[in-house]
Amino acid sequence: MTAKKKDESMSKSNGSYEPKPEHKFSFGLWTLGNRGRDPFGDAVRRTMPPNEIASVLGEIGAWGVNLHDNDLVPIDATPAERDRIVREFKKACQQAGIVVPMATVSLFFHPVFRDGAFTANDPEVRAYALQKTLRAMDLGAELGAKIFVLWGGREGVETDACRRADEAVKRLRGAVNYLCEYNIARGYKYRFALEAKPNEPRGDIYMATTGHYLGFIPTLDHPEMVGVNPEVAHEQMAGLNFMHGVAQAWEAGKLFHIDLNDQAPGRYDQDLRFGSNNPKSAFWLVKFLEDVAYDGSRHFDAHAYRTEDYDGVKDFARGCMRTYLILKEKAARWNADAEIQAILKEISAARPGTPKTGKYSAKGTETLLSHAFDKDAIMEKRLPYEKLDQLTIDILLGVR
Ligand code: GLT
Ligand code: MN
Ligand code: MN
């Protein structure tokens, strides 16, 4: 290929992976604004003000910006300061063509939450956590957010001597019920999305996985108002197959939001660029979201390597969206692949004479109980999953 032709084909593929508002790509203020501080080292990047982050998001083609209360409004701001900050931020978002689809509350950063927020032993901390969340809901509603995420990063323990774990569940339930009532009273029409994580920053966090939350939600006073916000890295930290958890949440009608990033197994909470560590599991995830036509935010809860400057942060953010769109295209290719489709059909076909199951009936059960299954004949059917997986790999590696 000549250099010119190569250039043309590169820009063509760049063009087709261009983010558009309909892709619903969003980033948190805390993600682009991450300054690279870690437990061992200080910030490597300057503070980027929220209004500048909104403008960068507009420049790189994102759709939305999400925020914690204190990503935008300092924790001790006066009401007048708060109102000015919000006014100016709204203007910056408008100018950048960016919406605010989700808001959340920081119940983990301030030292007052060292023993948790809604589950803390001190009733005054619990009351403060509620007040802070109500105000964060007011803030999000003012900015147009329709999803309210709750990530209980400090709701956990280093030692189980401090409280009974079922007491923590009860306190959490009480708090979420309270927030739902406030949502109704104020007419905000939020949908709450609960985000799980197994550990970090606490030794163990209650509600360790999305599955824990799916069990908790039906016990609430307004379960219809509450769903989940699964995060790739958090489920992977627990050693789980992320897409399976997402699928279960989706099937239960509870996939209200999603946090996309990546994570190497057995490490600290890395929040890597989407698809950068395990593109194959990212592929199954994107394929799932696109196959079921999930229409919520594709929120990237990740941050750039600590080695980057703010140009590198743009590379990081563009990379998240680009990888999603590449994988989306690969998923369409996978679905359209005749050989793959033929295998899929073959592996789930029924042998003639297979008794019908499905819904219970007395007559059907009689037939089922009297049927003689020919296990040797069943075993003759091939299950060519090696082939199926290699076809997937061929697609992912770009040779098919
Ligand atoms: C924090 C955490 C994330 C949560 C955010 C929402 S804040 O960065 O690591 O997983 O989604 O509170
Ligand atoms: Mn998250
Ligand atoms: Mn995370």
DSSP H or E stretch at residue 341: helix 338-348
The closest-lying atom of ligand 1 relative to the alpha carbon of residue 150 is: 12
Q: Residue 98: CB partners within 8 Å, gap ≥ 6?
A: 54, 57, 58, 62, 63, 64, 65
Rounded Cα distance between 73 and 86, Å, is 8
Helix (H, G, I), strand (E, B) or coil at 227: strand
Whole-number pLDDT of residue 7: 44
Cα(157) to centroid of ligand 3, in Å? 18
Instruction: Return phi, psi of residue 156, to 5°.
Output: -170, -160
Q: Tell me, what's the pLDDT at 16?
A: 82
Catalytic residues: 68, 71
pLDDT digit string, tens, across residues 16-38: 899 999 999 999 999 999 999 99
> CA–CA separation, 44 vs 332, rounded Å?
40
Q: Is the peptide bond before 352 cis (omega within 30 degrees of 0)?
A: no
| pLDDT tens sequence across 241-259 | 999 999 999 999 999 999 9
Q: Identify the pLDDT of residue 15.
A: 53
Asked whether the beta carbons of 62 and 321 are under 8 A apart, the reply is: yes
List, as one string, the DSSP characters of 43-104.
--SPPPPHHHHHHHHHHHT--EEEEEHHHHS-TT--HHHHHHHHHHHHHHHHHHT-B--EEE
Residues of the chain falling short of pLDDT 50: 1-14
Ligand 1 site, residue 149, Cβ cutoff 6 A = yes
| Phi and psi angles of residue 359, each rounded to the nearest 5 degrees, phi first | -70, 145
Kindly state if the Cβ of 30 falls inside 6 Å of ligand 1: yes
Reported pTM? 0.95
